[in-house]
Amino acid sequence: MDYRELLSRSQVAACLGVSVATVAKFQKSGRLCAIRLGHRTVRYERSEVERFIMENSCASKYGM
């Protein structure tokens, strides 16, 4: 794993166009996997965020 490919919760929120709290909810519900680096430090792999975007895009929902 390349540490440059890890994104903070706020970076993920900016990519998805949602709030940091929403990213936390996605993680808690299991829709988005995270890596814990400490008590409060959470990071997301870029590939995981890209997977999440693909699975939740309009094109994938409607088979386009």
CATH code, 39: 1.10.10.10
pLDDT (tens digit, 9 = 90+) per residue, 4-55?
799 999 999 999 999 999 999 999 999 999 999 999 999 999 999 999 999 9
Q: How confident is the model at residue 62 (pLDDT cuts 50, 70, 90)?
A: low
At 63 the pLDDT is 60
Residue 39 domain boundaries: 3-61
Rounded Cα gap, residues 27 and 30, in angstroms: 5
- Position 61 scores a pLDDT of 59
Q: How far apart are CA 26 and CA 1, in angstroms?
A: 22
Q: Say how many domains are in the chain.
A: 1
pLDDT score, position 4: 76
